[in-house]
Structure 1
Amino acid sequence: MLRILTFVLPLALWVWAFIDCLTTPEDEVKHLPKVVWVIIVLLFPLVGSIAWLVAGKQRGVLRTGAADGYGSDGHGAGGYPEGGRPRGGRPLAPDDDPEFLASLKKNNNEHEDMLKQWEADLRRRENELRGKEDPEEGRKS
């Protein structure tokens, strides 16, 4: 069992560090360019993974830019600056992004307008067909 853990734990650490390195935005990578960190983690699995965890990425309070959790704009750690985006520059979830919500409303309005046009076109076509059928029925009688 111990032999398996000595193999599995470093492998899990290496995979986690590699994926974390790949998914970390460029502006949160410290000391070296992101590509160099990826190469280090790949070529030196155990040492590179530990180095990435220790020195490669801004973590915790350092990422917010202030020790007390408040930025220069006065928002708390949970508050967003103007634009509804966290300090990292990306929304946490689509429903937290005002631009995304506005685009949904715009798409919804466009689809409603298109549906109204289709319904009007369908009514017009039905009326045209009824108009053509009525005179023919009148001739037959």
Structure 2
Amino acid sequence: MVKVQLFLGVLSFAFAVFCLIDAIGTTQPRNLPKWAWIVMILLFPLLGSIAWFLAGRPRPTPPPSAFPEYDRPGRMSPGDPSKDEAFLRDVRARAEEQRARYQAEQRRKQQEGEEGSAPA
């Protein structure tokens, strides 16, 4: 029984120290000023720590996106549908041109391979 009480006491102390350090290190606590949270944790270690953990810690902010243009609302809809159609036409034309160049290159390599292996 003594071991359980000792364990709970150490756990409570560690939790209070964690919350105190977290409260001191934060810049924008929720619901109360920073000094009030620190005083509450110091005066009521267990209750103040639980209150800090549930109601005082700032909400975690998502990490900034490396590509903020993907976060822009409405980015999936074209601003001007006629420009979007023209863009897609150009993309298809470039893809067809690249495909034709690739096929011509493959035919050229195949012909060179046949000429190299043909008896002279």
Q: TM-score, normalised by structure 1?
A: 0.42
Largest Rg, 1 or 2: 2
TM-score normalised according to structure 2 size: 0.49
More relative contact order, 1 or 2 (CA 8 Å, 6+ apart): 2
